[in-house]
């Protein structure tokens, strides 16, 4: 069974589920719960909301804070999953503390899971473009041509920018809204390879 040889998403989905069940005792394995965390876009959103919202069990209100809104049942399911994973902990007074724990994924399964999650977040960006005002979002784009060497430098700059944004968010003492940031840089052409490199004469 070779995960990397499967090209179709549907085949990868079935194969990933098999990997989860087959090696579920491995310490570095993507567990079923962790896999489920990335299956619903609002699980991570609820996690972010609980970092600032004083939640005491009102799932209807919690669901309304999500953009776009989800159902109270979906919000409850998200909280239960986050609590099971250790991402949030219920206090004795009924409130919740948000904990930030990394998710350890099985090496061959991580790419598929995160790619699927990225697709869902791009769909959320489309929603924001059509439903949120320009004061509530930042959406911009640019086209350019660069060498492979410069592209690697651009990737390094985007990583540094992402870290800076996260640092700003973590230092905010009074957050009141959850946000998500997508960064996509991808080629829209094939490289101009010299003819001799392609075996042409």
Predicted confidence (pLDDT) per residue in 140-191, tens digit:
999 999 999 999 999 999 999 998 998 898 899 999 999 999 999 999 999 9
CA–CA separation, 67 and 124 (whole Å): 9
Looking up residue 75, the CATH number of its domain turns out to be 1.10.10
Q: 103, 26 in Cβ contact below 8 A? A: no
Predicted confidence (pLDDT) per residue in 16-34, tens digit:
554 444 333 333 345 655 6
CA–CA separation, 157 and 95 (whole Å): 39
| Residue 142 resides in a domain | no
Question: What's the domain range around 99?
Answer: 3-135
| Residue 94 resides in a domain | yes
- Between 105-119, 126-140, 152-166, the lowest mean confidence (pLDDT) is in 105-119
| Residue 190 resides in a domain | no
Q: Positive or negative, the Cα torsion across 186, 2, 31, 74?
A: positive
Tokens of 87: 């991402």
| Residue 43 resides in a domain | yes
CA–CA separation, 199 and 201 (whole Å): 7
Number of domain units in the chain: 1
């Amino acid at each position: 069974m070779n995960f990397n040889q499967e090209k179709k998403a549907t085949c990868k989905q079935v194969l990933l589920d098999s990997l989860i069940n087959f090696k579920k005792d491995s310490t570095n394995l993507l567990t079923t719960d962790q896999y489920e965390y990335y299956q619903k876009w609002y699980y991570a959103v609820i996690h972010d909301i609980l970092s600032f919202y004083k939640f005491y069990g009102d799932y209807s209100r919690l669901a309304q804070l999500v953009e776009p809104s989800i159902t109270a049942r979906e919000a409850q399911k998200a909280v239960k999953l986050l609590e099971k994973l250790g991402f949030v902990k219920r206090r004795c007074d009924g409130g919740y503390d948000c904990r930030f724990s990394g998710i350890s994924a099985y090496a061959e399964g991580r790419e598929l899971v995160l790619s699927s999650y990225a697709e869902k977040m791009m769909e959320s960006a489309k929603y924001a473009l059509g439903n949120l005002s320009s004061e509530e979002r930042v959406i911009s784009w640019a086209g350019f041509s660069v060498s492979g060497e410069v592209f690697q430098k651009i990737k390094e700059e985007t990583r540094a920018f992402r870290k800076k944004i996260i640092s700003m968010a973590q230092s905010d003492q009074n957050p009141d809204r959850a946000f998500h940031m997508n960064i996509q840089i991808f080629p829209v052409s094939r490289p101009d390879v010299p003819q001799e490199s392609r075996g042409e004469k």
